[in-house]
Amino acid sequence: MNKLFWIKTVAISGLLSVVIGAFAAHILDGLLSAQRMQTLDTAVQYQIFHTLALLGLIGADDRLLAVRWKKYAAGFFLLGMILFCGSLYMLIATNISKFAIITPVGGISFMMGWIMLLLAAIREK
């Protein structure tokens, strides 16, 4: 597992979570409907939760978790952030409802990441 790549990924994702959340709270509040704000809040929350999950995953001792499955978990968490959170961000930014079609695929990616983490623990070295 290329930990430096994943640390950079975590740093960028964490930064984006804070920037987007702050932008939403301080600039978009009042400009977007309550439903759109809630959608944006959901995207930011899922992004930060999974950013922290990635941080924990890359920090976990490779002697405790099967590295191959850790890699899969990390990949699915990242894919989930891109598809789930990204599609919601694009939906808010463009008001193109077709982006919502991608969101469930991102949700499934998050679930797969958690399943891969479980498998990493089950198939420990």
Chain segment 51-84, per-residue pLDDT in tens: 999 999 999 988 888 889 999 999 999 999 999 9
Highest average pLDDT, of 20-34, 73-87, 88-102, comes from 73-87
CB contact at 8 A, 57 and 101: no
- What local confidence, expressed as pLDDT, does residue 125 receive? 58
Q: Long-range contacts: 85-90, Cβ < 8 Å, 24+?
A: 85/43, 85/44, 85/46, 85/47, 88/39, 88/40, 88/42, 88/43, 89/20, 89/40, 89/43
Q: Where are the domains of the chain?
A: 3-122
